[in-house]
Structure 1
Amino acid sequence: MPQQEKLTDLKTRLSEFMNKLDQMNPEETSVEDIDRLILMLEDLERKMD
């Protein structure tokens, strides 16, 4: 994947992550929700390499 395309993809995924994080209610967030967020971050990290 070309560098610019990779960067665009990362920005999109990060934006999705931030939106999910903003929508979460701390009082209703489950361990599974946190696990999904961690998986999203790990995926972003892999995409950066």
Structure 2
Amino acid sequence: MGSPIQDKNSQVTFLKQRLNMFLDVLEAIEPEDTELEDIDRLIAMIDDLESKCREFNNRD
């Protein structure tokens, strides 16, 4: 693993990239073919984003 991101601009950039990845995955999903595992994966991605937001928020 790399070193922790301390710089606020880098943190925002990181979160934007992760959010864009989530949006790409969301757009690629076909509703008719979506399975429970796909939804679980999306929820895990949101949980990871939320965790990173809290982690960055606590770094000062």
Whether TM exceeds 0.5 here: the answer is yes
2:43 aligns with: 38
Structure 1 gaps of 5+ residues are none
2:14 maps to 9
How far apart are the structure 1 equivalents of 2:30 and 2:18?
21
CA RMSD in angstroms comes to 0.6
- How big is each residue's C-alpha offset from its partner over 1:1-49, in whole Å with a ceiling of 9 and x where there is no partner? 2111111000000000001100100000010000000000000001111
Larger relative contact order, structure 1 or 2 (CA cutoff 8 Å, min sep 6): 1
Gaps in structure 2 of 5+ consecutive residues: 55-60
- Runs of 4+ in structure 1 off by over 2 angstroms are none
